[in-house]
Amino acid sequence: MTTSASSALAVDNITFRYPGSAPVFRNFSFHARQAEFVVLLGPSGCGKSTLLNLLAGFTEPEEGAVKINGQRTTPENNQLGYVFQQPQLFGWLSALENVRFGLRMQKREDVASQRERALSYLQRVGLAHAAHQLPHQMSGGMQQRVSLARALALEPDVLLMDEPFAALDAITRGDMNEETLRLWSAIGQTTVFITHDIEEAVFLADRVIILNRAPGGVHSELTVSLPRPRSNLETRQLPAFAAYRNELLKRITDVMQQSHSHSL
């Protein structure tokens, strides 16, 4: 395992439970290297979204620590970006002003520079033409692109993505997967992506971490060595893609069977 000192993101022996409940995590650890794309994969009830809240500093572990570049994480940490399950856009702000919002809150640069940077990130996600549209004038896929541009405009070292494309149709979701990889390749931030979709995990990841049901922690890890850049048309047809998918399916099935036997 990568050492804490060389990790962009280090989760070291964290324990967490909600008040009056059993632990969600107990002595849980994993590390992500600089510019690594890590996917956390697991069934419902394994604590995926709880973990992302811990990584973001929205909640704190009882024990252990979450660190970004060696510093304990907090929601105000400007080295951290977050893309939610829903776009979470402000309905009264244009796409440009939604992307600019984080820059404005952090008081980075002057207004003209903020707008210039926001527009450049809208261009990166293919939405420069929609800069002055309000969220209700955009499709779900467009809204999620704005959300992605807003996170990337802060140029974080670590980007956390919580099942951001789960609500999209299959075609738009595949397009967003490609877009995410294109941006990640160009910008190079460490990315932690949560999903319960096995094919999405294979398509995106350098490394997949399979989670047990709470409080089991890490079930196993799988390094994905598919060539990059990846495309929906070509990558998903590779025999190796099917092999990785089948291996992950086997491991997820093992997680489900273990949890079922424990509940009997």
HEC letters along 86-145: CCCCCCCCCHHHHHHHHHHHCCCCCHHHHHHHHHHHHHHCCCHHHCCCCHHHCCHHHHHH
Across the range 214-243, mean pLDDT stands at 94
Summarize pLDDT for 4-46 with one digit per residue, the tens: 556 899 999 999 998 888 888 999 999 999 999 999 998 877 8
Q: What is the pLDDT of residue 105?
A: 85
- Rounded Cα gap, residues 63 and 9, in angstroms: 17
First-to-last alpha carbon distance for the chain, in angstroms, is 34
Across the range 91-97, mean pLDDT stands at 96
Across the range 99-126, mean pLDDT stands at 90
- pLDDT bin (cut points 50, 70, 90) of residue 261 is low
- pLDDT bin (cut points 50, 70, 90) of residue 215 is confident
Residue 182 in this model has a pLDDT that exceeds 90: yes
- Rounded Cα gap, residues 20 and 33, in angstroms: 35
Bigger pLDDT: 1 vs 61 = 61
Q: What is the pLDDT of residue 181?
A: 95
Residue 108 in this model has a pLDDT that exceeds 80: no
- pLDDT bin (cut points 50, 70, 90) of residue 262 is low
In CATH, what number does 4-79+157-263 get? 3.40.50.300
Q: Is the dihedral of CA 175, 36, 187, 164 positive or negative?
A: positive
Q: Do residues 208 and 202 touch, judged by C-beta distance below 8 A?
A: yes
Q: What is the pLDDT of residue 1?
A: 46
Q: What percent of the chain has pLDDT over 90?
A: 62
Q: Where in the chain is the domain with CATH 3.40.50.300?
A: 4-79+157-263
Q: The whole model's pTM is what?
A: 0.91
Instruction: List the single range of 42-46, 179-183, 223-227 with lowest mean pLDDT.
Output: 42-46
Q: How does the average pLDDT of the chain come out, rounded?
A: 90
- Rounded Cα gap, residues 255 and 104, in angstroms: 44
Instruction: List the single range of 72-76, 198-202, 235-239 with lowest mean pLDDT.
Output: 72-76
Q: What is the pLDDT of residue 127?
A: 93
